Structures are given as C-alpha cells and as structure tokens.
A and B are shown apart, each in its own frame.
Chain A
C-alpha cells in the first residue's frame, strides 16, 4: 500500500494519474495510470530499467495525504488532462525547476495541484523529489465515460514517454534517494 523500497538498491518512482472518469477527456490521467498498471504491476520493475520499480496511483483528485509517499520517491510524474493545450497535444513540464516557494493558491477545497503538493513536501519533509507534469490537451470535458479518439490515441505514447523519463532520470537522481527499509 505504501512506497516502501524493500531493496535499497532499487529506486521507487511514483506515477500519479488523476482526473474524473465521468468527464470525457478528463479521464486521460486515469487511463494512462491503468495502462501502466497493466504493463508493470505495482512495485514491479520498469521494463529495460532494472534498478527502478514503479508505483502507480490512479485517483479522482490529488491531496496532501500523498505527500509523505512523494517525499521518499525517486521521482514523481503527475499525469492530467488539460483544457489549455491543443487537443491531442502532449506536454511535459519539469515541476522541480519551477518556484514552489509561494504556493499560496493551495486548496480552498480538498483538491490540490501538483505544485501545491511539492510545496508541502518541501516544507514538511527533508527531501523534495524531482517531479514532472505530463499534460494532454483534451477536447471534451462534458459528462461521458469515453475519451475523444484523439486523446485515446495518445495513451500509449504517454506511457512510452513516462518509462523513458524514468529510465533517463533514475540514474541522475539516484544519489539523492534515501530508501526506507
């Protein structure tokens, strides 16, 4: 249930896909999480990257209760749909490089943004993981259990990019990881 790294030589990454499964393209993050889950079960090794295991979370919303697990992760990748991007466009943002000092926008409700969670992590725990937001431009966020074909076609591409990102960065960041035993 939690991101416990049983083998100190392995690095645990978190992939958090979030959004509503009842609002059309908003389910993109969940669809990517589900697809990744099929590719590698919870805590299993990422293909072609034998030092890394990955924990996938699929959630309606993200909240502060995820922060403790983030703090010990090798890296975190949030996956979400966006109404701002061109429909079908994939975008990867390095959140760690952005200023997380003034995330006062935090939650007037129970829902938080990835940057708010990183900000909380930096305040509450000794370590903030490298983190990225993978966004995909959605075209329809109305009530529907299905994504538009354009976005459905991007799920596999997103999964591929995520695995590449983990493999590429796990070596670079491995020195900063403090595994929990």
Chain B
C-alpha cells in the first residue's frame, strides 16, 4: 500500500510551496517532490508593454531580489537599444548588485537558517527563530541585522529606496553617485567586513556538528553552473556561462547569450516552477545547481584578499553537499563588501556620464546576471513599435528545481524510517530546501506567518499520522 506524506507549506523560505513524500508498499521512501503552488504570470502579461518599462515592471516580480531583476532586465534592454553603456554605469550596477547579494545572503543565513544552525535541527520549533537566536547568541543576531541593514542602505543610497528602486535603467543608471554617498558607504564597510570575517570563523567551527546533514543534504554528483570571469574568477554581472561537474570537469563554456544551445526547460505536472536542464544529458539527468555554491565551486579566485583566503579553505570541502551553500553565502557577503570597497575607491566612480540614450535598434535582447540565488536570465523580443512580443525568464530558483527535488528525496530516504513523524525529521527535510534559499516570491507574493503541517495519508485518504506547528 503506497502512502504520501505532505509538508504544506514549507517554512522559512521566500514564498509558498509544499513537499510531498511518497512511500512504497513497505513504507520506504520512494520519492519526494517539491511543489511551487502559485503561478507567476510575468512572462505573459509583459507582452504588449513598451520595452523600456521592463526593468521597473520586472523588478516587481519580487520584493526580496528586485535589484537582480532590474539588472538582468536592463541588460536585455541595453541590447534592444544596441548600446554600450558608460563604463562607470557598469561599475555602479555592479555595486548595487553586490549590495543586493550581501543583504539577501544575510537574510538567508541569519534570519532563516541560523535558528537551525545555532539552536539545532531538533530544538523547540517555538523558539527556533530569529528571536531565539537573539536570546542564545546576541552577537550573531546583531551581526545579521548589521550586514543586512548595510546592504539595504547601500541599495537605498544608490537607488533611492530599499525595495524596487528605479535607478537601474535601460542604457545605464538614472543618476551618478554623489561624493557624500560614496564617503558614507566607504566609512561603513570596514566594520561590515570584520563582522563577515568573524561570522565565517564562527560558522566554520560549527561544521563538524553537522556531519550527518552534510552527508545527506542534497549530497550527490552533478553539474554546477554560473557566470565566470575571463580569468576564471568569481563574476556576478557579466562573463561566460560555464557548466562543470563536481570534479571541475567543464561540460560547457559559452557566451551567456547562447544559453538556449545548452539549456532546455521541462514542465512537470506537480509544480508551477519550470525545470531547466542541460540538454546534452537530457531530462532529468541534466540536473545542475546554481547560486553561491556553484559560483565558488567554479571560480578560481574572488579577486579580493579576504574572500580569497576564505575561498581557499572552502575549496577543501565536499562541494557536492548543498549544506555548504551556507558557508558559500558567508564568503560571498565578505566578497561583496570587499569588492564594493574596491569599486568605490576608484575616483572614476563619481563620473557623471552614466547613461546611454537610444530608441529600439534590435528586435531581440538578452540580459544575464548572478542573482543571490544563481544565474538570472531575461530574454525579450519586440515588434516595430518597441512593444514586447515575447518574454522568457529563467529564474535562479528554477535552475535548482531538479536538484532540490533530488535533495529532499535523498534526505527523506535517510531520515524517514517508519510511519511515525517527528518535528526534527520534518525540519531537516525543509532545511534541505532552505540550503538552496529558493525565492518563490519571484513567482508569488509571500508575506506573513506560515503554519506548517505534515500528514501521512493512506491511499484511501485516511490520516495515519500528523505533525503540526
């Protein structure tokens, strides 16, 4: 008799989803599925809109990572206008993207995952939250608050507001950086860099406590994908698109605009989230991972001293485990603030020529960047009037869809040994998803407290066991 366990909704992630765990005749786990339960309609309702509206419109996809969509969308519009944007505009876009990565990673690590990492996967779920973290380790909580607040402040100073800034536009950015804002940010960076370093040191010492989780949290061979710089360095704004396996063997290395030559998208009946895959290996074997783990796995170096030191230690770890997304996030926070410091220290950053103006000069535009959660692609086509006729968005969370499904299957098989369910089991399966930090807000509006329920049902729908919080 086969049975299904349902976790609905999954908590401490960005968005609404559920997990179903399918048991076989003997009660063994056969498969687990990650369902995104709400529909994103942006690709469709962008049709008919003027192309220059796309950056601001697409930023509304999400309140957590609007800057990422602004960047990818603006780059696609640059291409529609056939312009090369001013060099300082590229640097300013890089800075706001790095600030976005830092604040988003801080949210993921400190607010959403640190309750598990500090208090334990089996700790009281009523206290397993940011307030619980603050009580157990105030310094850690203050660090998270500080790093996220600074990332948001940099976005606000550059973009005018923390959420949905309209500063990144087709052709560059809308206005230059003021000297006062540069000095204000530069003054705050050293403390943030120290905090990021200290948190890295603390978390590195915690890793041995999680050896079991490391071994079964989406720990399997497979491909990793990210943008990569010309010297194989970490790249978040531009560069080539590279796929390589867990050993570093390159499977593809192409200009990002040629993504369709290697990536196709599958649609499954159980989720609104599409499943991109590497064409050469087919569906679903062409599964790959994106995001901080993939970026640091593929990068030879970061290009900033402190992050490079941390990366050297990171290279010693088993990158097959999704658990190491957490450490990768901390390294990228450190990298982001170091790189912002580097970019701001160049006086050219105050150059006032920050935008190229043009009408539409091409029918097709493609933009790519590294969002906090991985490679983000926007692809548009327009008609003679500059109106959108086609929009294709491949969101970072989508790239990870197949890996997340395989990851929760692995964890469920390891932890579920009977028909009795515990909160610790439930939390660990959710925690696999949290390592990827999926942003389902990119496909829905996710706000508010979520209840959590896991049910074990017979094929006839009879409730066999239930855990609720």
Contacts and interface: CB of A to CB of B under 8 A. Distances in A.
Interface of A: 1-2, 20, 59-61, 63-65, 67-68, 103-112, 116, 119-120, 123-124
- Give me the 10 closest cross-chain CB pairs, A-B, nearest first: A65-B149, A106-B129, A108-B11, A123-B134, A106-B131, A104-B126, A65-B148, A108-B450, A64-B145, A111-B447
Given A108-B129, A120-B134, 19 more contacts: A61-B63, A61-B447, A63-B111, A63-B148, A65-B149, A65-B152, A68-B142, A105-B449, A106-B131, A107-B449, A108-B12, A108-B450, A109-B14, A109-B450, A110-B14, A110-B112, A111-B449, A120-B141, A124-B141
23 contacts: A2-B153, A20-B445, A61-B447, A64-B148, A65-B149, A68-B149, A104-B126, A104-B131, A104-B132, A105-B449, A106-B130, A107-B12, A107-B129, A108-B12, A109-B12, A109-B446, A109-B449, A110-B111, A111-B448, A123-B135, A123-B138, A124-B138, A124-B142
Contacts of A110: 14, 64, 107, 111-112
B184 interface: yes
Nearest to A58: B161
B166 interface: no
A119 B135 CA distance: 10
A180 B445 CA distance: 37
B49 interface: no
Interface of B: 11-14, 63-64, 107, 111-112, 126-127, 129-132, 134-135, 138, 141-142, 144-146, 148-149, 152-153, 156-157, 162-163, 184, 445-450, 452
A120 B131 CA distance: 6
B382 to A, nearest CB: 26
B131 A103 contact: yes
Nearest to B132: A104
User: Which of B129, B163, B184, B446 has the largest number of chain A CB atoms within 10 A?
Assistant: B129
A177 B81 CA distance: 55
A133 B446 CA distance: 23
Contact of B131 (A20, A59, A123): A123
A24 to B, nearest CB: 14
Nearest to A64: B145
B130 A120 contact: yes
Contacts of B134: 120, 123-124
B432 to A, nearest CB: 17
Contacts of A60: 63, 163
Contacts of B146: 68
A111 B14 CA distance: 10
Contacts of B153: 1-2
A64 B127 contact: no
User: Which of A60, A106, A111, A124 has the largest number of chain B CB atoms within 10 A?
Assistant: A106
